[in-house]
Amino acid sequence: MRPHITGLGVVTPFGIGVDPYWSALLESANAIGPITRFDGGRYATGIAGEHPGFDPRDHLPARLLPQTDRVTQFALVATRDALDDAAIPDGAYAEHASAVVTANNGGGFEFAQKEMQALWSRGPAHVSAYQSFAWFYAVNTGQISIRHNLRGAARALVTDDTGGMEAVGQARRQLRHDCELVLAGAVDTNLCPWGWSAYTSAGLMATDPDPRTAYRPFSPHADGFVSGEGGAIMTVERPDRTGSRAAYAAIAGFASTFDGVARDGRGLERAIRVALDDAEVDAGDVDVVFADGFGTREMDDREARAITAVFGSGGVPVTVPKTGIGRLGCAGSALDVATACLAIAKQVVPPTPRYELSEAASALHVVDHPAAGRVHTALVLARGRGGFNSAMVLTKPHTELDSD
Amino acid sequence: MNIDTLTAVLREVAGEDETFDLATHVDPDTSFDDIGFDSIALLEVLNVLKREHGVQLDDDVLEHAKTPAALLDVIEEERDAA
């Protein structure tokens, strides 16, 4: 059974919604800039892909505001848009056959910081009762479930930056068992001093202060990534339940591997091969690879070698559309899945900005302009710190129903 | 404490909700459930009552005080007992 992705909701540094996001990708626009939400000058990295001008009052009932972090507000907006986009008829699914799976890297960082500040500066009576859940990494799943009455088995995954893709993979598992609709994906933001301290301390972020050049995956000068905020939530449904409604893509294959202590760096290649086998497609059938693009030399070289090992030198178009927004924590991999859905729906590969490639990456065919053409099969790659690797194969949905 | 003061507390916790008009009036006999106050929201109400009005109530009063009027009664009892 190859579940269909039928609705997309995205919040990105380019704005809210699929249309501004896709247009910006085609222009290779860059939304990375100096942090405005707090003083980034005190940290090793002071630039980020911020979502501009978000006013939650424009999107959510006032009641939800005192109890939600920015990350949950983004997630609720993305969920609303995904459901609107899918246009699922009222009552199509029983509430217990409808589930939510999201990933999170840090939960409501800013909410937690505010409450800790209240605790230490004003005392325990000033800590909000909403702190009990608003900081927690399962909070997006919970709030989405409550708001939209999706009462099937709810899950929250924490696998660093592969989380958003893992959530979509988990949706497929649940659709094979007791669910008919899953809201899946991830939204992340670390843009407050507390979240930023956690990220910058790992020493993996770019030190180049120039927003135009700081995050360049596969460049010989790559010295780290830039962080962004936002993500994607999508409706994933059993293909026999979508009726005449259109789908962006089918989830044809999915695999996760873990490099563990051995750290031979071959886990990503294994994930690619298992995902292709799972999808029953040959490497030659893949029309585009959405690379993880970690942004450090070691991680980029490893990814370039994995892609080259499977596809051969220059054997497949490769793109890293996140270059203009940074890595959105665990949500970047959900957004990459959404981007691949758009590429398949529009039959266009969104480009990576043009810049010099490292020696290992010179074997990659990096797409540096919007490439219209056949996009029937897309491979999306994701990695997380600590050895997580995930790979997902998305295909153009067939009009006939899958029987398996 | 009167209903206006309690309404102000409810409004603060609710973030000026548009689903009912807290600014002018809340029916003291409407259930908290009907005006959208779940258990965590009511805990926050107790939090604010304690912090800003010096009213110390145990969480378990919420098992019986299901309306603003009932909560006001509990607050009065507490003050008389003190």
State whether the Cα torsion A260-A263-A264-A269 is positive or negative: positive
For range A38-44, the mean pLDDT: 94
> What is the rounded CA–CA span in Å between residue A193 and residue A37?
9
Report the gap between the CA of A86 and the closest CA in chain B (Å): 27
> Chain A residue closest to B53 (CA)?
A125
Dist CA A360 CA A397 (whole Å): 34
Residue pointed to by tokens 């886990």: A267
Q: pLDDT by residue (tens digit) across A75-101?
A: 999 999 999 999 999 899 999 999 999
Alpha-carbon gap: B47 to the closest alpha carbon of chain A (Å): 7
pLDDT tens sequence across A342-390? 999 999 999 999 999 999 999 999 999 999 999 999 999 999 998 999 9
Cβ–Cβ contacts within 10 Å for residue A263, how many?
10
For residue B23, what pLDDT is reported?
A: 52
CA–CA dist A169, A167 (Å, integer): 5
- The pTM is what? 0.94
Cα gap B28→B37, rounded to integer Å: 14
Give me the mean pLDDT over the A327-347 stretch. Answer: 98
CB distance A129–B43 less than 8 Å?
yes
CB A250 within 8 Å of CB A4: yes
| CB–CB contact A132 B40 (8 Å) | yes
A67–B51 CB contact, under 8 Å: no
Choose among A376, A361, A354: nearest CA to A314.
A361
Q: What percent of chain B has pLDDT over 70?
A: 88
Cβ distance A65 to B19 less than 8 Å, yes or no, reads no
Q: What is the mean pLDDT of residues A35-55?
A: 95
For chain A, say whether B44 makes contact (Cβ under 8 Å): yes
User: What is the value of ipTM here, to two decimals?
Assistant: 0.80
- How far is CA A189 from each of CA A45, A49, A353, B8, rounded to the nearest angstrom? 15, 10, 24, 33
Is B20 within 8 Å of chain A by CB? no
Are the C-beta atoms of A161 and A331 separated by less than 8 Å?
no
Q: How far is A42 from chain B (nearest CA, A)?
A: 33
Of B14, B40, B46, the CB nearest to A62: B14
Q: Are residues B41 and A62, on separate chains, in Cβ contact within 8 Å?
A: no
- Tell me which of B9, B32, B40 to substitute to probe the interface with A (most A C-beta atoms closer than 10 Å): B40
- pLDDT bucket at B80, cuts 50 / 70 / 90: confident
Residues A161/A79, Cβ–Cβ less than 8 Å: no
Q: What is the mean pLDDT of residues A141-146?
A: 97
Q: Are A60 and A76 in contact (CB under 8 A)?
A: yes
